[in-house]
Amino acid sequence: EVQLVETGGGLVQPGRSLKLSCVASGFTFNNYWMSWTRQAPGKGLEWVASITNSGGSTYYPDSVKGRFTISRDNAQNTLYLQMNSLRSEDTATYYCTRMYYGSYFDYWGQGVMVTVSS
């Protein structure tokens, strides 16, 4: 059974940093692209970052480019999201998602809440 378990969320002040982690199990982690997708309270879904299975390439939307960094440790089956210079509009539930070769998101974690507020 595919499982994705996120940790690291919480309340953080604007301009500060936070790092999310996602531990994967139930599949061969280094065979799959991985991503982070977020959902602001009561809102829709927004893709945040993707990384290839080797970690050699990463992709971001303009809204987070230069502030967020996705990375992975294939030996530890763990995905990360380093979030810097956080803004109030980054407040959301962040989902760790397995991505089918850069296309759709076939498995989702339970999500972790990030609140950016002073």
Partner 1 sequence: DIQMTQSPASLSASLGETVTIECRASEDIYNGLAWYQQKPGKSPQLLIYNANSLHTGVPSRFSGSGSGTQYSLKINSLQSEDVASYFCQQYYNYPPTFGGGTKLELK
Residues 6+ apart with CB under 8 A from 96: 4, 5, 6, 20, 22, 24, 34, 35, 36, 79, 108, 109
- The footprint of partner 1 on residues 80-109 (CB under 8 A) is 95, 100, 102-109
CB of 14 to partner 1, least distance (A): 24
Looking at beta carbons only, is 17 or 28 nearer to partner 1? Answer: 28
Give the whole-angstrom CA distance, residue 71 versus residue 56.
Answer: 9
Pick between residue 21 and residue 46 the one whose CB is nearest to partner 1: 46
CA distance 44 to 78: 26
* Contact positions with partner 1 (CB under 8 A) in 2-41: none
On whether the CB atoms of residues 49 and 101 are closer than 8 A, the answer is no
Q: Which of 61, 87, 89, 113 binds partner 1 (CB under 8 A)?
A: 61
Q: Which residues bind partner 1 (CB under 8 A)?
A: 44-47, 59, 61, 95, 100, 102-111
